[in-house]
Amino acid sequence: MTAQVIDGNALSRQLRAEVATRAAALTARGVKPGLAVILVGDNPASQVYVRNKVKACEEAGLHSVLEKYDATMTEAELLARVEALNNDPAIHGILVQLPLPAHLDDHKVIEAISPTKDVDGFHVASAGALMVGEPGFKACTPYGCMKMLESIGMGNLRGKHAVVIGRSNIVGKPMAMMLLQANATVTVCHSGTADLAFHTRQADVVVAAVGKRNVLTADMVKPGAVVIDVGMNRNDEGKLCGDVDYEGVKDVAGWITPVPGGVGPMTITMLLVSTVEAAERGLSAA
Ligand X SMILES: NC(=O)C1=CN([C@@H]2O[C@H](COP(=O)(O)OP(=O)(O)OC[C@H]3O[C@@H](n4cnc5c(N)ncnc54)[C@H](OP(=O)(O)O)[C@@H]3O)[C@@H](O)[C@H]2O)C=CC1
Ligand Y SMILES: Nc1nc(=O)c2c([nH]1)NC[C@@H]1CN(c3ccc(C(=O)N[C@@H](CCC(=O)O)C(=O)O)cc3)C=[N+]21
Tell me how far, at minimum, the Cβ of 99 lies from ligand X, in Å. 9
Under a CB-based contact definition with an 8 Å cutoff, are residues 26 and 277 in contact? no
Instruction: Please report whether residue 190 would count as binding ligand X according to CB under 6 A.
Output: yes
The set of residues, in sequence order, having a beta carbon less than 8 Å from that of 77 and lying 6+ positions away, is: 69
HSE, CB side, 13 Å, CA atoms: give it for residue 203. 31
Q: Is omega for the bond preceding 223 within 30 degrees of 0, making it cis?
A: no
96 binds, among ligand Y, ligand X, Mg ion, none (CB under 5 to 8 A by kind): ligand Y
**Sign of the alpha-carbon dihedral angle for 194, 200, 203, 209:** positive
Instruction: Please report whether residue 11 would count as binding ligand X according to CB under 6 A.
Output: no
Under a CB-based contact definition with an 8 Å cutoff, are residues 259 and 229 in contact? yes
**229 included as an active-site residue:** no
Q: How far apart are the first and last CA of the chain?
A: 54
Instruction: Please report whether residue 211 would count as binding ligand X according to CB under 6 A.
Output: yes
- Known binding residue 51? Answer is no
Cβ closest to ligand Y, residue 48 vs residue 90: 48
- Give the 3-state secondary structure of residue 63: strand
**202 included as an active-site residue:** no
Instruction: Please report whether residue 51 would count as binding ligand X according to CB under 6 A.
Output: no
Looking only at residues 81 through 140 of this chain, which bind Mg ion when binding is defined by CB under 5 A? 100, 106
Nearest to 163 by CA among 214, 198, 213, 194: 198
**Local structure of residue 161 (DSSP, 8 states):** E
Q: Note the Cα 110 to chain centre separation in Å.
A: 16
**Sign of the alpha-carbon dihedral angle for 97, 100, 106, 109:** negative
- Give the 3-state secondary structure of residue 72: coil
CB atoms within 10 A of CB 6: 25
Instruction: Please report whether residue 235 would count as binding ligand X according to CB under 6 A.
Output: no
Considering 118, 120, 229, 245, which one is annotated as catalytic? 120
- Known binding residue 166? Answer is yes
Looking only at residues 264 through 283 of this chain, which bind ligand Y when binding is defined by CB under 6 A? 264-265, 267-268
Cβ closest to ligand X, residue 78 vs residue 215: 215
Cβ closest to ligand X, residue 31 vs residue 146: 146
Instruction: Please report whether residue 113 would count as binding ligand Y according to CB under 6 A.
Output: no
Considering 97, 118, 138, 250, which one is annotated as catalytic? 97
Phi, psi of 82 (to 5 degrees): -60, -45
Under a CB-based contact definition with an 8 Å cutoff, are residues 142 and 174 in contact? yes
Applying CB under 6 A, the span of 34-42, 60-68, 159-167, 177-185 interacting with ligand X comes to: 159-167
Binding mask 222-241 for ligand Y (x = CB under 6 A): ----------x-------x-
Angle at 157 between CA 154 and CA 159, to 5 degrees: 135
Applying CB under 6 A, the span of 24-32, 89-97, 200-208, 215-223 interacting with ligand Y comes to: 89-97
- Known binding residue 167? Answer is yes
Tell me how far, at minimum, the Cβ of 76 lies from ligand Y, in Å. 20
Annotated binding site: 166-168
* Catalytically active residues, by annotation: 53, 97, 120
Annotated binding site for NADP(+): 166-168
Question: Which residues of this protein are in contact with ligand Y, per CB under 6 A?
Answer: 48-49, 52, 95-98, 120, 140, 232, 240, 259-261, 264-265, 267-268
Question: Which residues of this protein are in contact with Mg ion, per CB under 5 A?
Answer: 100, 106
